[in-house]
Structure 1
Amino acid sequence: MTDFDDTLPAPDEFDIAPVRLTVDLGALADNWRDMVRRSGKARAAAVVKADAYGLGLEDCGTALYEAGARDFFVAVVQEGVTLRTYAPDARIFVLSGIWPGQESLFFEHDLVPVIASEEQLAFWMSLLAEGGDHPCALHVDTGFNRLGLPFADALALAKDVSRPASFSPVLVLSHLHSGDTPSSPLNKAQLDAFQEVSAAFDGIETSLSASAGIFLGPEYHFDLTRPGIALYGGESVNGMQPLRPVAKAEARILQIREAAAGSTVSYGATHQLSRRSRLAVVSVGYADGYLRALSGSGVPLRAGGTSGAYGYIDGHRVPIIGRVTMDLTIFDVTDVPERAVRAGDYIQLFGPDMPLAEVARAAGTIGYEMLTSLGLRYERRYIYPEE
C-alpha cells in the first residue's frame, strides 16, 4: 500500500493492455443478416464453436441471438451449455454428437446432438428406448471422410421400417470439403449425393452449406445454412472479398530503438539490416496466437519463402523483422515519420486496415486459425450495435 493508492484514478484496462482485441458486434450482426439474405429461401443458422471463433461465445452468441438467429451450432456439449444461457429458446446443435455420461447435459439444457456414427446411433437409440423422445440431427458423410454416417448406411437407415418411431431427426446435414473452391467438380458430386439423402429423408429439414457453400448458389442451400467464418469477417471463399471486419487485434510498442546497417535482428540473427533502421519492439508473440510462422525470416517450415507479415500504424504498413518470439515481435518503422510513432502506441496486427486473410496467408495458414489461436492475454472490448 502506498500514498498513491487513494489519489491515482483507476486505469482503463483496455487503454493500458499489452495486447488488446476490439470486437465489433454490430458488424457481426450485420454479417449474419447478410448471410440470411444470401441464403435465399433457407434459414441461416450461426456457427459459434471454438468460443465463437475465438471472439467470445457469450457476447457473440448474445449479439447473434438478438439479431434474430434461432439455430446455432457448437462443437462440444460444454459450449452448448454455455450458449443456452444467452440463447434461451434457440435450437442448439452439438456437432460432436453425444457419448455416455453426457445425457443429463443434453436433456437438462435442451441440446440437440448431431449423430455422426454407428456407435452414437446405437447409443442414442438405447437412450430413446429408456427415456422417450428427444430431438437429434443426423450427419451423413457425402465424401469428406470425416464425421458422418456412411452414405449407404444413411440411405439404408432412411428405408428401415423397423427403426423406432421415436427416432425422428429434426435435421439431416452434411458438409462440403471444397466449398471454398467454387470451380471444384467435387462440390457437384457432393451435392448430388446429398440430394439423394434429402429425398430419402423426405419431410425432414436438410442442411449442406457452411459459409463457403452459401456462395455456390441456391441449389446448395436446402432448408438451413450454417455460416461460420463469414460472420466473423474471415475469408470463406478463396480470393473473395470477406464481409465486414469484426475483430481488430493490436499490440503496444514497448520500445523504439535505432539499429545500425549490417546489424542483425532477433533470434538466430536471421535478418541483417541493409540500412540504418528504427525498430519497434512490440508486446505480442506466439504465446498470444501471433504465429511464429509470421516471422520476417528464419522460419524454414513456411512454404514458398514468403517474406512474412506486416502490421499497420498511422497509415503505414510496417514489416516484421526477424523471428516472432514468445512475447515480442519486432517491426521495421523506419519509413514511418518519427513524430508519428513512439513507445506506448499500438500497432494493428489485423483488422480493418490489415486484412485478416492477408496476415493468415503470410503465415501459410487461414483466418480460422488466426482467430481461434488468440491467446488469453488480450484485453477485450466489445462494441455493441447501439454504441
Structure 2
Amino acid sequence: GMLSLGGPPRERAGLSSWLREVGNVAVWFSMSHLASADDAGSEQNGDQLAEMNRIADEFPGFDVCFANSGGIFLGNAFHGVLARSGIALYGGAPTAGVANPMEAVVHLDVAVVQIQAVQAGARIGYSGAHVAEGEMRLATLAAGYADGLLRSLSGRGAVYYDGVRLPIVGRVSMDSMTIDISALPEGTLTLGSFVEVLGPHQTLEDLARDAGTISYEILTGLGQRYHRRYR
C-alpha cells in the first residue's frame, strides 16, 4: 500500500493466528488503498493487486475492499466486494491524462461586490503585484484564500462569465480577489452579479492546474462561508 496505515506484511501471519484463537472479533473486510490508481499505466497497481490477492488468501472469509475512484476504472479485478469512490462522486477526474467520464456536480459562483475603472500605472492588490498597462475595468469578488481560493491563483487563475474568461489580477486576498472584466461590455456585470469559479467552463482540474495543486485540495478546501445548495 502506501505505508501510511495498516500492518506490515511480517505481522500478517501472527494476526491471522490471533483472529482464529480469539474467535470473537468481527472482521468485515481486508482493506488496502491504491497509491497510483489515477495512473492506469503504473506498475504499482499490478503489484498492489497481487499483494491484495495474497492477503485475501491468507484471510479467507473476509471480503476485499480495495478500489478507490481510480481503481474502479482499472477493471473488475480491482473491485473486490466494496469500492470506495471519492473524487468521482463529485465529478472529479478519476484517471489522469484521459477524458473524464464523470459528470461535474460541483458548481461554485461568487458575487461581485465592487466595480471600478483604473488607469495605466494603477497598482492592484497587496504589494501592488499587478500594474495596469492601460485602462482596465475591475471587479472585486467576495471570496479569497480563507474560502479555499488559493493564493497561488494570483495572476494565474481566472473566473468566467457567460463563457468569457476573466483573469485574476493582483494577489488573492483573505476575503476577496480582483478580476479583470475589460473583456465584457461595460455594464454587463453589476453589484451582486455572480461569476463562475467552478462550472461548465472551468472544472476542478482546470482550477487545480492553475493553482499548481490537485483537485482534491481544491474541493476539500472550499470554506464554510459559501451558501450550499444540494440537488
Task: Specify the alignment match of 1:248 in structure 2.
Answer: 107
Q: Please state if 1:195 is matched with 2:43.
A: no
Task: Specify the alignment match of 1:269 in structure 2.
Answer: 128
Task: Specify the alignment match of 1:91 in structure 2.
Answer: none
Distance 1:285 1:254 in 2: 13
Distance 2:24 2:116 in 1: 70
Change (3 A) 1:236 1:310: same
Counterpart mapping for 1:281-320 below 5 A: 281-296=140-155, 308-320=156-168
Whether the 8 Å CA contact 2:138–2:181 is kept in 1: the answer is yes
Query: Aligned match of 2:72 in 191, 214, 217?
Result: 214
Counterpart mapping for 1:18-97 below 5 A: none
Task: Specify the alignment match of 2:215 in structure 1.
Answer: 367
Query: Aligned match of 1:321 in 141, 158, 169?
Result: 169
Deviation by residue 1:68-108 (Cα, 9 ceiling, x = unmatched): xxxxxxxxxxxxxxxxxxxxxxxxxxxxxxxxxxxxxxxxx
Identity of aligned residues (%): 39
Partner SS state of residue 70, structure 2: helix
Q: Alignment length, in residue pairs?
A: 230
Query: Aligned match of 2:137 in 278, 294, 303?
Result: 278
Q: What is the deviation of 1:272?
A: 1.6
Q: What is the deviation of 1:164?
A: 0.8
RMSD: 1.6
Stretches of structure 1 that go unaligned for 5 or more consecutive residues are: 1-142, 297-307
Whether the 8 Å CA contact 1:270–1:322 is kept in 2: the answer is yes
Q: What is the deviation of 1:352?
A: 2.5
Whether the 8 Å CA contact 2:19–2:25 is kept in 1: the answer is no
Change (3 A) 1:161 1:179: closer
AA at the equivalent of 1:337: P
AA at the equivalent of 1:267: Y
Whether the 8 Å CA contact 1:235–1:242 is kept in 2: the answer is yes
Stretches of structure 2 that go unaligned for 5 or more consecutive residues are: none
Q: What is the deviation of 1:249?
A: 1.1
Task: Specify the alignment match of 1:183 in structure 2.
Answer: 41
Q: TM-score, normalised by structure 2?
A: 0.94
Distance 2:229 2:19 in 1: 54
Q: Please state if 1:237 is matched with 2:95.
A: yes
Task: Specify the alignment match of 2:2 in structure 1.
Answer: 144
Query: Aligned match of 2:191 in 325, 343, 346?
Result: 343
Distance 1:211 1:254 in 2: 38
Q: What is the deviation of 1:154?
A: 2.1
Q: What is the deviation of 1:339?
A: 3.5
Distance 1:351 1:160 in 2: 52
Distance 1:171 1:150 in 2: 17
